[in-house]
Each structure stands twice: as C-alpha cells, then as structure tokens.
Amino acid sequence: MKKWLFNPFVFIASWQALGFGLLLMAVTCVIAFFSKTHFDGVIDIHFGTSFPFWMAVFEQFNIWIISIILFYTTGLILSKSKIRLINIAGTLALARAPMLVPAIIGFAPILHRLPTANNLAGIALWSLALVLFSIWMIALMYNAFTISCNLKGSKAIVGFIISIILAEIISKVIVQQVYHHFLSK
C-alpha cells in the first residue's frame, strides 16, 4: 500500500501512467477553474481571482511540460541508462495526481479572504492539508524522476533539487508573461 502511495511507478509507467495522469490533470483543471485555484508554479498553489478556463488548462500543462523538459535533460546528463521520454512524461503526469485535492480545498471560502480572515485555526488546518499534499506530490515527482532515469543516491537528489528549482522558476516566469500579455487588460 505504501509503495502504491509513494512510488506507484514501480508498477505503472509509460502510456498507462500518462493516460491516468492526463485524466486526473484534466479533472484538476476543471475543479481549479471553479474553485479559483492557481497552479502557477511546479510546487505552487494560490487561491484568488477568477480566470478563463483556458488559463487553468495552460497552468497545468505549462507545469507538466516544463517539468518534463528539465527532468529529461537532467536525466540525459546524469544517467548512464537509456531514458525514454514517454516514461518521464507519463510518471510526471501521474505525480501531479495529489494536486486534485488542493483544487477541491480551493472551494473553502476562508482561503479566498486570507488578508482579512481572522480564523487562525481554520487557516492553519487548511494550510497543513495543502502542505501535506504538496509534499506527497514532490515525493511522487522524485520517485518518477529516479525510476524513469534510473538514478540513485546523491546524483538523484542533487539532480532532482536543481531540476525542480529551475522548473519552478521557469514555469512561474512563463505564467507571469502569459498573464501580462493576455489577461492584464
């Protein structure tokens, strides 16, 4: 059970993982649109203003594609094994599955009035839930990376940290540019 929760990629990868992953990402897009939940970075979640549905789709796929590019490149540099793009794409898509829950949590009204909310216990509880699901997603991403690229030890850890930081920065810059050019008017 523990293996299925944190490293399902031992059993499922490639096209199967891609299929399930894209399905869950699509559901997350729809829920995020209605709950006004933004995924503007690989490990970022924000709650706030409304946005068009295409932006919800763009945010999900921006994160996913930037992650694929960064982790695939890092895998090619660090790994001695042959790496298949479909394995990286599929496992990283499925790794985003936990983000479905934060999208649902986005319906909580308190998260949309944080600057003025005074229910500290409520804010703390929701924040804890968000952090836990984010940690779960990061664990899945790490296992997706190590299984798809056959990396272990310090190479895996350093490669993952560098890739996820770069993916976070690049995905945020892209989303910011899209907002600025298409939604700021």
Partner 1 sequence: MQKKLPHVCPSCSSALNVQSLICSNCETIVSGNFSLPLLAQFTPEEQTFIIDFVKSSGSLKVMAQKLDLSYPSVRNLLDDLIVKIEANEKTTDSK
Interface with partner 1 (CB under 8 A): 9-14, 17, 80-82, 84, 87, 91, 147-148, 150
Residue placing its CB nearer to partner 1 in the complex, 15 or 53: 15
Residue placing its CB nearer to partner 1 in the complex, 18 or 31: 18
Per DSSP, the residues of 116-185 read T---HHHHHHHHHHHHHHHHHHHHHHHHHHHHHHT--HHHHHHHHHHHHHHHHHHHHHHHHHHIIIII--
Closest separation in Å from C-beta 10 to partner 1? 5
Closest separation in Å from C-beta 116 to partner 1? 48
Residue placing its CB nearer to partner 1 in the complex, 10 or 173: 10
Residue placing its CB nearer to partner 1 in the complex, 84 or 112: 84
Spell out a b/e string for 12-49, using b for 16 or more CB atoms within 10 Å of the CB, else e: bbbeebbebbbebbeebbebbbebbbbbbbbbebebee
Closest separation in Å from C-beta 79 to partner 1? 9
